[in-house]
Amino acid sequence: MNRKRWVALLLFSLAIALLAVGLGRLTAPERAKGRWQETTLFGRGERVLLLELRGAIPGGRALEDFLSQTRQAQEDPRVRAVVLYVDSPGGGVTETEAIHRALRNLAQAKPLVASLGTVAASGGYYAATAAREIFTAPTTITGSIGVISTLPQVQGLLAKLGIEVEVLTEGRLKDMASGLRPLTPEERAIIQGYMREAYELFVKRVAEGRGMPLEEVYRLADGRIYSGEQAVALGLADQEGYLEDAARRAAELAGLEEFRLVRYRKPRGLLGELLGDGLPFGLASETQALWEALSQTYFRLEYRYLGGGLW
> In this structure, are residues 262 and 41 in contact, taking their beta carbons and an 8 Å threshold?
yes
Reference 203, options 187, 181, 221; nearest CA is 221
Q: Is 215 left (phi over 0), alpha (psi -120 to 50) or beta?
A: alpha
> In this structure, are residues 39 and 71 in contact, taking their beta carbons and an 8 Å threshold?
no
Output Rg (C-alpha) for the chain, integer angstroms. 25
Upper half-sphere CA count for residue 204 (Cβ side, 13 Å): 8
Reference 86, options 269, 231, 194; nearest CA is 231
Q: Name the H helices within the chain.
A: 3-27, 60-75, 93-109, 123-128, 155-160, 185-210, 214-220, 228-234, 243-253, 270-275, 283-295
What is the rounded CA–CA span in Å between residue 193 and residue 296?
22
What is the rounded CA–CA span in Å between residue 88 and residue 126?
10
Active site residues: 122, 174
Pairing of strands 79-88, 112-121: parallel
> In this structure, are residues 86 and 128 in contact, taking their beta carbons and an 8 Å threshold?
yes
What is the rounded CA–CA span in Å between residue 121 and residue 126?
8
> In this structure, are residues 52 and 263 in contact, taking their beta carbons and an 8 Å threshold?
yes
